[in-house]
Amino acid sequence: MKKVKVFITLKESVLDPQGQAVMQSLHNMDYPNVKDVRIGKYIELELEDTADVAAEVDEICDKLLANTVIENYRYEIEEEVHS
């Protein structure tokens, strides 16, 4: 078993209304230090070992997990999970 951590972020050119709102609240809450907030997704996958896990994860991300019109993704294939 492999554990894969996928990070999905909005492309830089795309405005992130949620991140903007969070930053605004943080400023209102008196955290003026915060200069930028971007909100994305963090997905943990568990996969049965195969010959090419990376290829499979790439496919899954391209097809489903990320919308590449607006999002970028990257991932880390982590430790073995023992079950």
Partner 1 sequence: MPLTHLEPSPEQIEQEKIYRTMGLTESEYQEVVRLLGRKPNYTETGLFSVMWSEHCSYKTSKPLLKLFPTKGKRVLQGPGEGAGILDIGDDQAVVFKIESHNHPSAIEPYQGAATGVGGIIRDVFSMGARPVAILDSLRFGDLNNSRVRYLFEEVVSGIAGYGNCIGIPTVGGELQFDDCYNGNPLVNAMCVGVMKHEDLQVGQARGIGNTVMYVGASTGRDGINGATFASEEISAKSDEKRSAVQVGDPFMEKLLVEACLELTKHEALVGIQDMGAAGLVSSASEMAAKAGVGIHMNLDLIPQRETNMTPYEMMLSESQERMLIVIKKGSEEEIKAIFARWGLHAVAVGEVIEEEVLRLEHKGKIVAEVPSDALASAPVRHMPSRVPAEYTANQAAPVWKPEITDLAGTVHQLLTQPTLASKEWVTRQYDYMVQTNTVVAPGSDAAVIRVRGTKKGLAMTTDCNAKYIDLDPLEGGKIAVAEAARNIVCSGGEPLGITDCLNYGTPENPEVFWEMEQSVRGMAEACRVFETPVISGNVSLYNETNHQAIDPTPVVGMVGLIDDLGRLTTASFKHEGDAIYVVGEAAPEFGGSALQIMLDGKASGKPPVIDLQLEKKRQDEVLSAIRKGYVSSVHDLSEGGLAAAAADAVFGTEFGADLHFETDPVTELFSETQSRYLVSVPEALRKEFEATVAGAVLAGSVTRSENIEMHFVTESVSLRRPELEKDWRGVLSCAMSAKN
Partner 2 sequence: MKTAVIVFPGANCDQDMYYAIKDGLGEDVEYVWHAETSLDGFDAVMIPGGFSYGDYLRSGAIARFAGIMPAVIKAAQEGKPVLGVCNGFQILLEAGLLPGAMLKNSHLKFICETVRLKVENNETLFTSLYKKDEIIRIPIAHGEGNYYCDDATLKTLKDNHRIVFTYHGENPNGSREAIAGIMNRAGNVLGMMPHPERAADALLGSDDGLRLFQSILNHWRESAHAAYTS
Is residue 67 within 8 A of residue 8, CB to CB? The reply is no
Report the residue number, 19 or 53, with the smaller CB distance to partner 2.
Answer: 19
Which among its own copies, partner 1, partner 2, none contacts residue 9 (Cβ within 5 to 8 A by kind)? its own copies
Report the residue number, 21 or 69, with the smaller CB distance to its own copies.
Answer: 21
Is 76 strand, coil or helix? strand
- CA angle 10/12/15 to nearest 5° reads 70
Q: Which listed range, 37-45, 49-57, 64-72, 74-82, lies at the site for partner 1 (CB under 8 A)?
A: 64-72
- Residue 33 as a binder of partner 1 (CB under 8 A): the answer is no
- Residue 70 as a binder of partner 2 (CB under 8 A): the answer is yes
Q: In the set 33, 64, 80, 82, which binds partner 2 (CB under 8 A)?
A: 64
> How far is it, in rounded angstroms, from Cα 2 to Cα 4?
6
Backbone angles phi, psi at 46, to 5 degrees: -115, 130
